[in-house]
Amino acid sequence: MDFNSSSPKTISVFSTFATPFDNNSPRVNDTLNPKTRKPIALWPGMYHSPVTNALWEARSKIFERLLDPPKDAPPQSELLTKTPKQSRTSILYNFSTDYILREQYRDPWNEVRIGKLLEDLDALAGTISVKHCSDDDSTTRPLLLVTASVDKIVLKKPISVDIDLKIVGSVIWVGRSSIDIQLEVIQSTKEGSDASDLVALMANFIFVARDSETGKAAPVNRLSPETEQEKLLFEEAEARSMLRKRKKVEERKECEHGEVNRLEALLSEGRIFCDMPALADRDSILLRDTRLENSLICQPQQRNIHGRIFGGFLMHRAFELAFSTAYAFAGLVPYFLEVDHVDFLRPVDVGDFLRLTSCVLYTELENPEQPLINIEVVAHVARPELRSSEVSNTFHFTFTVRPEAKATKNGFRLRNVVPATEEEARRILERMDAETLHSRNGVCK
């Protein structure tokens, strides 16, 4: 894998502790005069991180149009046909040489912080969607592009913070107003590694286009795959799109099949906990006793270029709470495996009261070498003045326990989680059925 940062398609990421407008900085675009344009760090409505700074600096002309669209501009009148190559973008983390950047991404186990990486994936996917939808016409109004959903994100191997890292992404499929973007996180651990062994994480983001004035769905540029690999990805993404349309119906059928008996089986142990706690199984725990929660007021510094709270920020906060929940439950350091499909049901605005609640939904103990902890995080947008609370997102994370941590604790065993209410039992069954449906249809494996 070529990690050469001089490639015109690769954007290098640098520490945010140095100004991108120093005369000696390699990040300055020589075609722009820093004295005559506002520094990106001062642009309104932008979430700043090493990656967002690098992406917006590289595509400043496109994003300046989004920040200050022409007045009374018409919508794009003619759709273009673009290739995946035209939207393909990669970013390079110079971890091996940039000490400060390395420290910004380091977790306590000398690996990359997954929460920050989720932020970066969303930021890169957003940039790619903007590139695909851009018509390069300064007289038309740009589209409003928002994260609609994220397909299952799977971590294939640990990601070291001491080795250069690259994320590559491009549009692989489009619908009328939706865009499917595939991202690969690549890290080489030794010379001569097979290309497939270099991929540390894979993800697909779905963006939807809205007219920036009416808010209605807007058509996006067409996509014309060129290579055999691009055509294959196009077909697979189209199949996933069709599957998503059938998913709710199939999940409902799966859940209805034998639902009464399954609910009863799940609730039987929970009733013993509630009615006869002295006789309860000591290897089990009530779902409600695994809960954690945090709350925050969404600040202007967390908003994206459209003025809404950055989707990657929400994923980051959800991941940190999920990790903490798994840690407190297992009593050992957890290891992230995947996050399942996420739908962004409601936008989150500056000033919103965001409440995140988490719990261990269930555990899978069949494989003692890799027991699984399934964490649910629900994000609620609360409006105290109106006495209302709406679900913005529901996240499902899967963790196991780090092998080196498990080795330090003889006889380690995760507890079984049992529901105390029918509502809790239904949530567990819905999640189990969703996992079964994903596995059967080979989604995002």
* Whether the predicted pLDDT of 20 surpasses 50: no
Condensed to tens digits (0 to 9), the pLDDT of residues 381-434 reads 988 888 888 999 999 999 999 887 776 777 778 999 999 998 899 899 888 887
What is the average per-residue pLDDT within 232-257? 72
* Whether the predicted pLDDT of 201 surpasses 70: yes
More confident residue, 9 or 148: 148
Residue 31: which pLDDT band, with cuts at 50, 70 and 90? Answer: very low
Model pLDDT, residue 170: 95
How many Å apart are CA 156 and CA 114, to the nearest integer?
A: 13
What is the average per-residue pLDDT within 430-440? 72
Tokens 């605005």 sit on residue: 349
What is the average per-residue pLDDT within 261-278? 80
Condensed to tens digits (0 to 9), the pLDDT of residues 143-197 reads 888 888 998 899 999 999 999 999 999 999 999 999 999 999 999 876 555 666 7
**In the beta sheet, which residues pair with residue 9?**
none
More confident residue, 16 or 109: 109
Structure tokens at 407: 């080795």
Model pLDDT, residue 140: 76
Q: Residue 56 to residues 34, 134, 277: CA-CA distances in angstroms?
A: 14, 15, 57
Model pLDDT, residue 33: 46
Residue 154, helix vs strand vs coil: strand
Model pLDDT, residue 430: 86
* Whether the predicted pLDDT of 43 surpasses 60: no
First to last CA, the chain: 22
How many Å apart are CA 238 and CA 256, to the nearest integer?
A: 28
Condensed to tens digits (0 to 9), the pLDDT of residues 83-115 reads 999 999 999 999 999 999 999 999 999 999 999
Please state, as a whole number, how many other Cβ atoms lie within 10 Å of the Cβ of residue 104. 19
What percent of the chain shows pLDDT beyond 70?
78
How many Å apart are CA 155 and CA 186, to the nearest integer?
A: 11
How many Å apart are CA 352 and CA 27, to the nearest integer?
A: 35
How many Å apart are CA 432 and CA 426, to the nearest integer?
A: 10
Residue 14, helix vs strand vs coil: coil
Condensed to tens digits (0 to 9), the pLDDT of residues 330-360 reads 999 999 999 998 888 888 888 889 999 999 9
Residue 311: which pLDDT band, with cuts at 50, 70 and 90? Answer: confident
Structure tokens at 205: 């983001």
